[in-house]
Amino acid sequence: MAENATVWEVFIQSKNGLAHKHAGNVHADDKIMALENARELYTRRNEGSCIWVVKSEHITSSESEDSEAFFDPSNDKMYRHPTFYTMPEGSKHI
Amino acid sequence: MSSLFTYTLRIADSSLILGQRMSEWCSNGPTLEEDIALSNISLDMFGQANGFYEYAAQLDGTKSADDLAFKRNEREFFNHQMVEIENGHFGNTMVRNFLHDAFNFLFYTELANSKDETLAALAAKSLKEVKYHLRHSSNWLIRLGDGTEESNLKVQDSLNEIWQFTNELFEMDEIDTELLNSGIAVDNKALKEQWNTIVNNTLSKAKLTRPEDAYMATGGKKGMHTEYLGFILAEMQFLQRAYPNAKW
> What residue spans define the domains of chain A?
6-80
Of residues A19, A15, A9, A1, the one with CA closest to residue A41: A9
C-alpha span between B31 and A8 (Å, rounded): 15
Q: Do A36 and B31 touch (CB under 8 A)?
A: no
Residue ranges of domains in chain B, CATH in brackets: 3-242 (1.20.1260.10)
Determine the pLDDT at residue A83.
Answer: 74
The residues, ordered by sequence, that sit 6+ positions from B128 with a Cβ below 8 Å of its Cβ are none
Residue B224 has pLDDT above 90, yes or no: yes
Q: Between chains, do B33 and A30 touch, taking CB under 8 Å as contact?
A: no
Give the pLDDT band (50/70/90) at residue B181.
very high
Whether residue B84 contacts residue B232, with contact meaning beta carbons closer than 8 Å, is answered with yes
For residue B206, the 8-state DSSP code is T
Assess if CATH 3.40.50.300 describes domain A6-80.
Answer: no
What is the C-alpha separation between A67 and A40, in angstroms, rounded? Answer: 35
Nearest to B139 among A27, A32, A40 (CB): A32
Q: What ipTM was predicted for this assembly?
A: 0.78
d(CA B28, CA A1): 14
Contacts of A44 in chain B (CB under 8 A): 40
Nearest to B36 among A30, A32, A40 (CB): A40
The chain-wide mean pLDDT, for chain B, equals 97
Kindly tell me the number of DSSP H helices and DSSP E strands found in chain B.
Answer: 9, 0
Q: Give the integer Cα–Cα distance in Å for A13 and A29.
A: 23
